[in-house]
Structure 1
Amino acid sequence: MISTISRRYSLDEYRAIEEKAEGRSEYRDGEIVPMPGGTLKHSRIGGNIFAFLKFLLRDTQFEPINSDLRLWIPEHRRGVYPDVMVFDGEPQLNGDVYDKPQERLRLDEVLNPVLIVEVLSPSTADCDRLSKFRMYRSIGSFREYLLVEQDEPFVERYSKQAEGWLLNDFSSLEVSISLDSVNIELPMAEIYRGVVFE
């Protein structure tokens, strides 16, 4: 039996690699994990959601951000790239040195989304539903989570309640999803605009 030794990377090493990399990778407490490439459906759905939220939230205190920005989850030492995040007010940047945070703010890492959207793919669906959701719940500001299927019109919405997280799912293009964290309705038809199902 051949054993392999996987290298562990410091956070500084990961960040230096990520700044120069052509593709994106997530950081998992010492492990660098390349992200799989997306599909046309995945890109359309993520783009539709971002564009719709950007338009509807343009004159509010809420700001949607696309998947170019890394979310840092301190409790789990994880850096991930959700498909869409929404912030209530100014996004909080990650500061590495807490006695002088203004000197070491990470302009590429944020900490405080209220809403996270993940467009599911076969290779990531289980992780997005289970381990990522568990990690996201450690974020104090986080109040709503959308999991969006790309091969059929189906969205799972988790919303934070006093007694825990409430799940609602949606499977009709005729309905809208109430996003309580940002006070708007997101039509299923807008999520899947231009998407052809086989």
Structure 2
Amino acid sequence: MAIAQTNPPNLTSDATKTRFTPDEYRAIEETAEDRHEYCNGGIIAMSGGSPTHSRITVDITTFLNVAVRDTNFQVYNGDLRIWIPSFNHGTYPDVLVIDGEPEFNADRTDEILNPLLIVEVLSPSTEAYDRGEKFRKYRSLASFCEYLLVSQTEPYIEQYHNLDRQSSDRWQWQVYDGIDRAIVLHSLNIELPMSEVYRRINF
């Protein structure tokens, strides 16, 4: 994911306005040409990703969608927003998987509350955010139990897996380094080969 700037211009007729309600944000997002995150009153514009970022995201989404097509798991791309109630935060992950039917935020059909697996393809401008604050916020969601941080500069993926679904503080860290490895996705009970993640990427 890539973030461009905070409080982008021309979002409101009030040029001095820097805080927005969730409903104001949603109204802006429905007509905006670009996507934005919502962070407890602030709006953050998201810039476009690189061709490599896009290619990796598409290949992960495609592989997972085929792998779980005969199960209760459902795969979504970055068009579906995750809402994190504890932090009043709305964000777009690169890939997410849910178990069963989506749980939507109130009467919204574009904000999901129950991600199981989340994948973020790292960008230089957002890597620290994806590893730190964003991961912390994701962990407040009871359904969330697996997180992949995917490098786009080398075949390298970090995996975080919750060892205790009744707790949010027992996460195991695993590194997958090298194109011949395969990631064991505990939440889906499948393996994701690194060669599928990076199948058309030349390093």
Q: Could you state the TM-score of these two structures normalised by the residue count of structure 2?
A: 0.89
Aligned to 1:179: 185
Deviation readout 1:145-181 (Å, 9 max, x if unpaired): 0000001110000000137100000111111000010
Structure 2 matches for 1:128-143, cutoff 5 A?
A: 128-143=130-145
- Residues 6 and 124 (structure 1), Cα distance of their counterparts in 2 relative to 1, 3 Å cut: farther
Q: Which runs of 5+ in 2 are unaligned?
A: 1-15
> What letter corresponds to residue 77 of structure 2 in structure 1?
N
Kindly indicate whether residue 17 of structure 2 is the aligned counterpart of residue 9 of structure 1.
Answer: no
> What letter corresponds to residue 158 of structure 1 in structure 2?
Y
Kindly indicate whether residue 43 of structure 2 is the aligned counterpart of residue 58 of structure 1.
Answer: no
Kindly indicate whether residue 44 of structure 2 is the aligned counterpart of residue 38 of structure 1.
Answer: no
Shift in Å, 1:84: 0.4
In 2, the alpha carbon distance for the partners of 1:32 and 1:147 equals 24
- Equivalent residue in structure 1 for 2:201, among 178, 195, 198: 195
Structure 2 matches for 1:5-154, cutoff 5 A?
A: 7-95=18-106, 105-154=107-156
Q: Which runs of 5+ in 1 are unaligned?
A: 96-104
Matched residues, number: 185
Q: Secondary structure at the match of 1:93?
A: coil
The farther-off stretch of 159-168 and 21-30 is: 159-168
Q: Percent identity?
A: 53
> What letter corresponds to residue 84 of structure 2 in structure 1?
I
Q: Secondary structure at the match of 1:112?
A: coil
Shift in Å, 1:6: 5.8
